[in-house]
Structure 1
Amino acid sequence: MEIMKKPEIKFNIYKELAHFITSLGFITLRYDKRAIGESEGDPYTSGMMDLVSDITSNVKFLQNHERVDSSKIILIGHSEGCILSTIASTITPVAGIVLIAGAGTNLREPLLYQNAQVVEEVKTLKGLKGFILRLAVSEKKLQKQQDDLYNIMVNSTEDIVRFKGKKMPAKWFREHFKYTSEDILKILSNATCEILAVTGDKDAQANSNDLKSVQELGKENIKTVVIKNMDHMLKEFAGEKTVLNIMKQYKEEASKPMHFELKAILEQWLSKFNENI
């Protein structure tokens, strides 16, 4: 089972994103997620709804800010932030939502997607490494491991549990697993605000095919875009999509700018909000 996390490499993708949006005439509020960077908190005891609460608190702060038009607040979520922003929009309504690399799905689906890629990569991996991994990795084994994780987390009552000897944030998993992909899609279907959902076709952590389910909602206020050669770190990547070598890929592209097409799509979509600025 692969629980992919954003690597410990300084990309500054959110900084670049915020500066780009500011250049378009918007005020931006960017903050470190709870227990990350300068933000306080314990990553093991913080639940998913704590992260949602942080979003809604920031929205309320902006609603009362003298320089902000409270009728034009837009949430931008990346990866897990897509789930968090979608849920947060049901608590504090906003004018728009941008969902990058993770729209229309719960937490469990990306884990299944990543596992499936690992299995396929291992099948074609050459040499001794491939031989050893084929002995250790199989679709059946990965599925059992994920099912075990799911069952332990949803039946837990503590904030922290141990899974295969590792300390795990049970509260975070438990609260995430309460939401199915159908629940997330229902929220999007019921939303009346403008929504932009974007994923790259070279994303090894979020499945760009999930956007089909979002598009099939048939909502005029929702725009979906699959960007060619964009990966999970919002960089241009023309190579083969990989999970096994993803850290090497991310390290090599750390200094690259944000994908040019993502910037163009954001600029065009956001223009509807600053027409009167």
Structure 2
Amino acid sequence: MKDVFSKILPMVFLSASIIGCAGGPDEKRGQRSIDPVKWEGIWEGVIRAGGQELRIVFKINRTKTGSWEATMDSPDQGVKDIPVKNIKVEGMSIRIDIPAIGARYKGELNESELMIKGIWQQAGGDYPVDLQPVKEVTVIERPQDPHPPYPYISRDIRFKNEEDGITLAGTLTIPEFVGRHPAVVLVSGSGAQNRNEEIMNHRPFLVLADHLTRNGITVFRYDDRGAGESEGDTKTATSADLAGDAWAAVKFLMSQPEVDDSAVGLVGHSEGGLIAAMLAAEHRQIAFLVLLASPGLPGYELLLKQSAAILKASGASESRITQVQEVNRRIYDIILGEPDNEIAAEELRSFMKSIGMKKEQADAQISQLLSPWYRFFLSYDPIPTFKRVKCPVLALNGSLDVQVPADINLKAIEDALSLGGNERITIQRLPGLNHLFQHAESGLVEEYARIEETFAPEVMEIIVRWIKESVAGRS
């Protein structure tokens, strides 16, 4: 569920792969000009806001015609090539517009210190960000990241979602021992995630796939549509559309000669758990589900619980929490009550103005709130879907998860499965773990990057043991 909460600064980046360009330098008379070569290259800095730190990287080039072109990366979120639409150079100053995320960077080149000192502007806020020239983007490795040579087979794969006509890319890892193995498709959380579900230099799906494959389970993980090497447009996709991608991955996996097609399941993290349940409810070929921090509540209710849990963990007073909840309810009611985006946008803009929100911040929020994904998620009730799931289910959640609070969501999942007659249910609330299944202190998003652990080893062991027990005797 990380990208529901990532709408809050500074984690609002969207992936893209377009290079934007603008006209050449427009120097004002009297301003000091500098050698254009000094602007070119890779510039890296850090946004600090709300207790969080996120690196940004601009790759700036000057074309043969004298114009400028650039792309932007958010390495800590695993997002590359965010489109830059406009670059304006005036003497020692530079302005870079990033409309895909409603942001702008303005800075002054300090030649003596070899840096650009500037301001990051987004959603009505200004954040000091100094950029340093680097030869290449800094890569931060985590202790659990596996490295080749691997004791298993790893293949990069392309497969097709025939219904939507898009080609997706992923990695298949297969145990080396001879035979047909149980297998899983990993389904990521919300937002355009790459096959490793990369966030803040953590690669949870890389670590989990490595552990499962070393323990005899074939794993297929893939780039979400519009991310990594996969085609498609995330701007118009809903959870239901993404379920089509996951089903295409399942069919591909079942067709592999090394896979026991009677023992293929889904491991879904956060929104990926909802998608896994959608597929299991429709396709009896799916042998089992592993739900990692999966929502069990309707979207409207979940988002209210999420914001309350985050505020409480952040030390907010009860009166502040109540105030925020009232604002969120009003916003959600407008969205659900008005299907026409233009009318809804006007109502939202009017309400946000009444509570003192700046126009720039309101416009940035509205474009996200009225997206097809957000509308679908807000109105979606997973309970009827869970009632139709008949295969074995393992549902895990950390006690410190503030994005999908454990107790209420695990109970909703268990109750819905039981009401549907499913008796093969294992529910575990895991003490001291956050939404990413890291050992944490508060569970807040700002901790994710500071924690060196990517995925608690004992949780991966629980998953391995449960899968093997669930598929025993099926072959």
Distance in 1 (alpha carbons) for counterparts of 2:225 and 2:270: 15
Task: Name the % identity.
Answer: 25
Instruction: From 310, 334, 351, give the equivalent of 1:148.
Output: 334
Q: Residues 64-110 of structure 1, C-alpha deviation per residue, up to 9 Å, x if partnerless?
A: 22221111111010011011111122333300011100142343333
Given that 1:56 and 1:92 are in contact with CA atoms closer than 8 Å, whether structure 2 keeps it comes out as: no
Match for residue 374 of structure 2 among 173, 192, 206: 173
Partner of 1:236: 439
Moved more, 54-63 or 71-80: 54-63
**C-alpha contact 1:202 1:229 (8 A) present in aligned 2:** yes
Contact residue 200 and residue 229 of structure 1 kept, 8 A: yes
1:33 match: secondary structure: coil
DSSP 3-state at the match of 2:438: coil
Q: CA deviation at 1:257?
A: 3.6
Match of 1:194 in 2: 392
- Which is strand-richer, 1 or 2? 2
Q: Distance in 2 between matches of 1:207 and 1:136?
A: 18
User: Do structure 1's residue 107 and structure 2's residue 299 form an aligned pair?
Assistant: yes
Alpha-carbon offset, residue 192 of structure 1? 1.9
When residues 82 and 266 of structure 1 are mapped into structure 2, their CA distance, relative to the original with a 3 A threshold, is same
> Equivalents in 1 of 2:264, 2:221: separation in Å?
13
CA displacement, residues 8-40 of structure 1 (integer Å, 9 cap, x when unaligned): 212100111111111110111000111222222
What are the superposed Cα offsets for residues 107-164 of structure 1, whole Å, 9 maximum, x if unpaired?
3333111221245346349xxxxxxx95995332232223334435xx1479xx7963
2:4 aligned residue: 3
Cα–Cα, structure 1 residues 185 and 136, in superposed 2: closer, same or farther, change >3 Å? closer
C-alpha separation between the residues in 2 aligned to 1:190 and 1:47? 21
**In 2, Cα distance between equivalents of 1:111 and 1:101:** 14
> 1:222 matched to which residue of 2?
425
Deviations 1:30-56 (A, max 9, x none): 001112222222221222222010011
CA contact (8 A) 2:294 2:404 kept: yes
Greater helix percent: which structure? 1
| Paired residue secondary structure (1:252) | coil
Once residues 138 and 122 of structure 1 are traced to their aligned partners in structure 2, the CA distance between those partners, rounded to angstroms, is 14
Q: Deviations over 1:216-273 (max 9, x none)?
A: 3433211111001110111111x2344xxx22x11101x3141133123112201225
Q: Over alpha carbons, which structure has the higher Rg?
A: 2
- Normalised by the size of structure 1, how large is the TM-score? 0.81
Q: TM-score, normalised by structure 2?
A: 0.49
Q: Quick check: 1:119–1:139 contact (8 Å CA) kept in 2?
A: no
Q: Is the 8 A contact 1:119 1:137 kept in 2?
A: no
Does the Cα contact within 8 Å between 2:399 and 2:431 map onto a contact in 1? Answer: yes
Query: Relative to structure 2, which stretch is displaced further, 59-68 or 79-88?
Result: 59-68
Contact 1:101 1:198 in 2 (8 A): yes
Q: Which moved more, 1:162-171 or 1:265-274?
A: 162-171
In 2 relative to 1, CA 234–189 (structure 1 residues): closer, same or farther, beyond 3 Å? same
User: 2:335·2:375 contact (CA, 8 Å) conserved in 1?
Assistant: no
Comparing 84-93 with 3-12, greater Cα deviation is found at 3-12
Distance of 1:200 and 1:252 partners within structure 2: 18
Residue in 2 that maps onto 1:260: 457
Given that 2:298 and 2:379 are in contact with CA atoms closer than 8 Å, whether structure 1 keeps it comes out as no
Report how many aligned residue pairs link the two structures.
256
Structure 1, unpaired ranges of 5+: 126-132
How many Å separate the matches in 2 of 1:79 and 1:213?
Answer: 14
Contact 2:311 2:321 in 1 (8 A): no
How far apart, in 2, do the equivalents of 1:229 and 1:28 lie?
27
How well do the aligned residues superpose, as a CA RMSD in angstroms?
2.9
SS at match of 2:455: coil
Structure 2 equivalent of residue 130 of structure 1: none
